[in-house]
Amino acid sequence: GAGVSQSPSNKVTEKGKDVELRCDPISGHTALYWYRQSLGQGLEFLIYFQGNSAPDKSGLPSDRFSAERTGGSVSTLTIQRTQQEDSAVYLCASSLAEARWETQYFGPGTRLLVL
Amino acid sequence: AQSVAQPEDQVNVAEGNPLTVKCTYSVSGNPYLFWYVQYPNRGLQFLLKYITGDNLVKGSYGFEAEFNKSQTSFHLKKPSALVSDSALYFCAVRALSGTYKYIFGTGTRLKVLA
């Protein structure tokens, strides 16, 4: 079946503009994660959604970052007033259930460049 | 606080030789441990995970990892490296209770030389 998809694959924006990144998880997956991958920094957790529970937003680096998940499926990560340090690859992952041993399935990522 | 350390930024190994990619972790209580691989221009792919039971876990593409509780390590191994194994490898940990976050290491780039 289809994997996790993300759009756009690449995004170039000017400093100060807002951007929206989209994630379509695998159908039926109730858990969804956003990560940021910067060069040499590994994967930085941003936010976690599980079903109808309140999301874990503890990884969002500033109030310029927000995310929502509509209908328990598609998720959008919004970065307002982008800064150059926001340049990174933004990865989305989904997993089947809330079980802690569940495997995450990653999308191909959105490469964001802020000029 | 949970943490994962991958002490080597890069590991070079000759094709056909055994390879080891190191990972140590810090978490309260027992962990769930994972290895993911990222090939060039592709997303992260799951390799293997430790949940409970046998300390030696076998995964995809001939990889295996050994959970060592006393050394808080979960090193990734393969008996005979292939050039196609060249990629970026990430270790991750998740606690059995509390936060649902996965904590990832900074990654180790494996280069297998022909």
- The per-residue pLDDT for range A84-106, each reduced to its tens digit, is 999 999 999 999 876 778 889 99
Quick check: A96 contacting B, CB < 8 Å?
no
Three-state secondary structure of A9-30: CEEEECCCCCEEEEEECCCCCC
CB B65 within 8 A of CB B79: no
Q: How many helices (H) and strands (E) does chain A have?
A: 0, 10
Residue A1: its pLDDT value, please? Answer: 56
Determine the pLDDT at residue A71. Answer: 80
Going by pLDDT thresholds of 50, 70 and 90, the confidence category of residue B96 is confident
pLDDT, position A52:
81
- Contact of B45 with chain A, judged by CB distance below 8 Å, is answered with yes
Give the model confidence (pLDDT) of A17-72 as tens digits: 999 999 999 998 989 999 999 876 788 999 999 888 889 998 999 999 999 998 87
B13-32 residues touching A, CB cutoff 8 A = 32
Return the SS3 of A83: coil
b vs e for A80-100, b when ≥16 Cβ sit within 10 Å of the residue's Cβ?
eebeeebbbbbbbbbbeeeeb
CB B47 within 8 A of CB B72: no
Return the pLDDT at A70. 84
B32, B45, B107 member nearest A101 (Cβ): B32
CA distances from B94 to A67, B27, B50 (A): 22, 8, 10
Please tell me the predicted confidence (pLDDT) of residue A40. Answer: 65
Q: How far apart are CA A65 and CA A9, in angstroms?
A: 19
Chain A touched by B42 (CB under 8 Å): yes
Asked, as a colleague might, if the bond just before A8 is cis with ω within 30 of 0, I would say yes
Write down the pLDDT at residue B99: 73
Count Cβ–Cβ pairs < 8 Å, chain A vs chain B.
59
